[in-house]
Structure 1
Amino acid sequence: MSTRLEWRAVRALHQKKFRQEQGSFLVQGPKLIAELLASSWRVRAIHVAEGAAHDFPRELVQVHPPHELERMGTLESGNTMIAVAAMPAPMPIAPLQEDELVLALDGIADPGNMGTLLRIADWFGARRVLCSTDSVEEFNPKCVQASMGSLFRVAVQRCDLPRELDRLRAEGAALYLASMEGDDAFTLRLQRPAILILGSESHGPSPAVRGIGARIIAVPRAGAAESLNVAMAASALCMEFLRQARTL
């Protein structure tokens, strides 16, 4: 492939349509590329600016003038290393483990929030995240960056979320829905296996998800702030799940 065609192929991955057509997405910057290489995910190529120091496998590296790399990436500046990774094949949703915590994301629209939620899941030991089909794509470049490598360690599974939540409850999962109007999560005995449901940033969970009958829980408020960002709420609630798992 000529340099010009390579450049156009990488640039096309800025758009969801072409990411899905090619089954590929961008991983940008040395830290995230190192995380990618340490994972089991397939790497198609690593595009590197001339003169940039690296220790990537030589068979994967393609070198370009710095001005070409700058335009290949989505970062505002500093596009010196860009990997093209293959999307993993979808996996069936496995039965829950006895002490498992799973995040369920319903209509999350902001890619930065999505990436941060994957990072939170990774930090607190949630090894998989269920997503409604209308949630933002986890391979969006902003999501990949915000996940800080957690995308490669947390399984993201898209599904008919209300149906899957009903099925998992039948398997014995406790369902918890995060909301400002819920019961104080810090005073409850949180059960496991558990599904923590987090709704859209703008309008909360969909009517179908709200109607499944999950226990509604909230982060207790001591001040006057109107609300918490969905990722902030997720972090506080996941921390309480972890605290209880360790102490109760």
Structure 2
Amino acid sequence: MAKAKDIPEGLTEAEFKLVRALRDRKHRRAEGAFLVQGRKLVEEVLQAGWPVRFVVATAEAARVTGIPARLLRTAPAHRMERLGTFGSGNEWIAVVDLPGPAVDGPLEAGELVLALDGVADPGNLGTIIRLADWFGMRRLWCSPGTVDPFNPKVVQASMGSLLRVAVVEVPLPERLARARREGATVHAADLTGTSVFEATLVRPAVLVLGSESHGLSAAVRAGADILLRVPGRGGAESLNVAMAATALCMEFERRRQP
């Protein structure tokens, strides 16, 4: 017979309401927690040692997990559907403590930092966080108008990279000015800029990307040392911001000194 301590508890009404509330940014900030959905991401969060309050799973999913019973809560599938924010992958949902303020020290020699000026789409931000992780960046700056990095769709799109890249909310014009004093060159993506393949790319560097609808704000644009564009040959009006970030980062990486 299983011991009582090995049997997951049922999800309480208070816990149900908490999970529902954490879909909203103001409640995430008030509660100091966010949601992680899907078995792979939940397991990655646990393995990384992030403070997990509890994990909700269907009874069937709970039977095949190695998660400690003290963290597990069970709920029927129809309730899990009400808790999840996606059409599928709602069998596992973790409530995780928000991290404390990230350390944002001076730029190091050779460092490249991405800075986002009002990026609004959660999928774009999550993809850019994953991109930053791919190229070995450990921090990313966001203006206050950028989508919340702990939005469930951002967390999902980052595919675990949010665990390794510190997303720091900063007043961008002031932080860019400070970066220049630290010896960095500020590059900003803009359709009127110099082709990235012809520009001089100097590290340490900041690469700024503007919002999907309005591009760079005037104050951020004024703080850039050089404007860059990804040259194209076809009839598309522009690139998606995550696509542009990928192309620009690839060129920075190609020029990197061995």
Q: Which residue of 1 aligns with 2:43?
A: 34
Counterpart residue type for residue 181 of structure 1: T
- Map Cα deviations across residues 59-118 of structure 1 (whole Å, 9 max, x no partner): 211122222212111112331100001101112411111011100000111111111110
The answer (yes or no) to whether the contact 1:131–1:159 under 8 Å persists in 2 is yes
Q: What is the aligned partner in structure 1 of residue 234 from structure 2?
A: 223
Q: Is the 8 A contact 1:70 1:78 kept in 2?
A: no
Q: Which has the larger radius of gyration?
A: 2
SS of the counterpart of 1:239?
helix
Matched with 2:6 is none
Normalised TM-score (structure 2): 0.92
Distance 1:2 1:222, change over 3 A: closer
Contact 2:186 2:223 (C-alpha < 8 Å) held by counterparts: no
Letter in 2 for 1:17: K
Structure 1, unaligned runs of 5 or more: none
Which range is displaced more, 181-190 or 19-28? 181-190
Identity of aligned residues (%): 52
Could you tell me which amino acid in structure 2 is paired with residue 12 of structure 1? A
1:161-240 to structure 2, matched below 5 A, reads 161-240=172-251
1:110 to 2:118 alignment: no
Aligned position for 1:75: 86
Residues 40 and 100 of structure 1: is their aligned pair in 2 closer, same or farther, counting only changes over 3 Å? farther
Closer, same or farther: CA 243–57 of 1 in aligned 2, 3 Å: farther
Q: CA deviation at 1:231?
A: 0.3
Which of 108, 111, 120 in structure 2 is aligned with 1:97? Answer: 108
Match of 1:5 in 2: 14
Asked whether the equivalents of residues 122 and 147 of structure 2 are also in contact (C-alpha less than 8 Å), the reply is yes
Contact kept? 1:74, 1:141, Cα under 8 Å: yes
Shift of residue 246, structure 1, vs aligned partner: 4.9
The runs of 5 or more residues in structure 2 that have no matched partner are 1-9
Equivalent-residue separation in structure 2 for 1:144 and 1:170 (angstroms): 33
* Partner AA of 2:72 in structure 1: V
Moved over 6 A (4+): none
User: Alignment length, in residue pairs?
Assistant: 247
SS in 2 for 1:51: helix
Contact 1:111 1:136 in 2 (8 A): yes
